[in-house]
Amino acid sequence: MNRIDLAEGTVYPRSAVRQGETTYFLARLHAEGGRRLGVIGETAGFSGTTAAGGAILVCPLTPGNAAALRSRLLWLNPGPLGCVASFGFGDRIGSATPGHIQALRAADPAGALAPVFAQQSVRENARSGRTPQQVVDDAMWGVFQEGWRSPWGADADHIKTTSDLAAFVAAGYSFFTIDPGDHVDNAAHSEPLSTLRKKAASLPWDVLQASLTDLVSRFCRRPISLNGISLTIDETVLLRALAKYGRALAHAVTVAHEITARMAGRPFDLEISIDETDTPTSADEHFIIAAELSRCGVPVVSLAPRFVGKFQKGVDYIGDLADFEHELARHAAVMRHFGTFRLSIHTGSDKFSIYPVVARHSRRLVHVKTAGTSYLEALRVIAVSDPGLFRRILALSRARFEQDRKSYFLDARLSEVPEGGALDNADLPALLDAFDARQVLHVTFGSALDEFGPQIGSLLAENESQYRAVLEGHFVRHITPFVRGDDEPD
């Protein structure tokens, strides 16, 4: 990385910005190894120590200093992005944003994709020991370091209850993903009509602001023609959809209204995610869900169905590609019919075989979410730079896998993951390309960060350029299919 050397540290050149009579920059100190904010000029609101004869205030990267900087450099605040093609970069460690930006600049110089640099779920925060404020601040320091001036988002991912909201709202999040999956009735997917009738009758119709008679009249009168496909929603199809998703819809409406109240006029993006369910979402169900959300005044910018096949952590799509493309085309037709939201692909990292299909059928009006893949690339750097630490992480991951896997859908087999002592140093990085090892390392991130977090952070700081480079190479592969022309070959 091209830097300007100073006596006490190295300035990240893209960070330097002058506004009015004050200059701001980010530097890495040689002696301490950490990053610091430098302020030359008006320093009110910042906390730090003086350097260079009092000319520079050198500030630690605290929440208070982050807030003060955001109040002056407004592009450091995340904001709503709207219904546009976008990409979500999860960062479980807090140091990946510079590499994410480097990948965007390499693969998407025209800015076709809007980035969400702060993306963390409630579950990920709990396992990584980070707060919503820390996630936003870490992303913001990366944005500042790299001189990113375009809009960017912060996604409070997989919000399940209204009690999850306060910390995300206070931290300035601009994107909320409601996950009502706990209220989906998976059994309804195959239950008889008599059971479906009883379940539909007992839905919270007051929250849904409708009645079963209303919905039968609205959806079952005639076939629905849209964008080259036809949906025939008879009473059985409707009852099954309502029994399966009705309570989830009501919960989503309740949480959405609570977000609106808490944001108190601040604009935000809203997504509904029903991807973590046992059975796929049909195009009929997608249509009903989208129509009812709209009728209930829930203005989503993206919707994440449960697609056919398997979307597992850190590995490519598992399933029949022809079946996936057929169903995706139907979901994309539903999306285009409404014209107010995009498709969202959850567990979207490393799904290289389906990216061209998704880009083509969605006409690139899509949001892709990635999370742990940046953590895995961090482990790749560690495997090369400190094989001993990597072996300790691997041993812990093997020991914790059966416990940590419980909240994930996985096909990984621990028996296929070798112990670190059985491998030469040169063979360790290849584990990051092996199906079973990759998943075992992925889902045990919380245990690894709890045990080795400081060592991991220090090692990545020492090998900053290497981490940026592996992230760039990895995410260029993710991004490229969504920014090239539709008529280009897959």
Nearest to residue 303, comparing CAs of 283, 286, 315? 286
Backbone dihedral angles phi then psi of residue 232, each to the nearest 5 degrees:
-115, 105
Residue 157 annotated in active site: yes
Cα gap 395→164, rounded to integer Å: 33
335: closest CA among 249, 245, 226? 226
* Residue tagged 């920059």 (tokens): 25
**Which is it for strands 224-226 and 86-89: parallel, antiparallel or unpaired?**
unpaired
Residue 340 CA, chain-centre distance (Å), reads: 21
| Residue 271 annotated to the active site | yes
Question: What CA–CA distances, in Å, run from 126 to 131, 352, 399, 452?
Answer: 8, 29, 20, 16
Question: DSSP letter string over 1-45?
Answer: ---EE-SSEEE-GGG-EEETTEEEEEEEETTT--EEEEEES--TT
Of 439, 88, 442, 435, nearest to 273 by C-alpha is 88
CA angle 189, 350, 377 (to 5 degrees): 135
Q: Are residues 420 and 391 in contact, defined by beta-carbon separation less than 8 angstroms? A: yes
Question: Within a 10 A sphere around the Cβ of 305, how many other Cβ atoms?
Answer: 27
Separation CA 472–CA 469 (nearest Å)? 5
Closest CA to 475 of 68, 186, 91, 157: 91
Catalytic residue from among 108, 146, 157, 276: 157
Q: How many CB atoms lie within 10 A of CB 120?
A: 28
**Does residue 119 sit in helix, strand or coil?**
strand
Residue 74 CA, distance from chain mean position = 23
Which residues are catalytic, by number? 157, 271
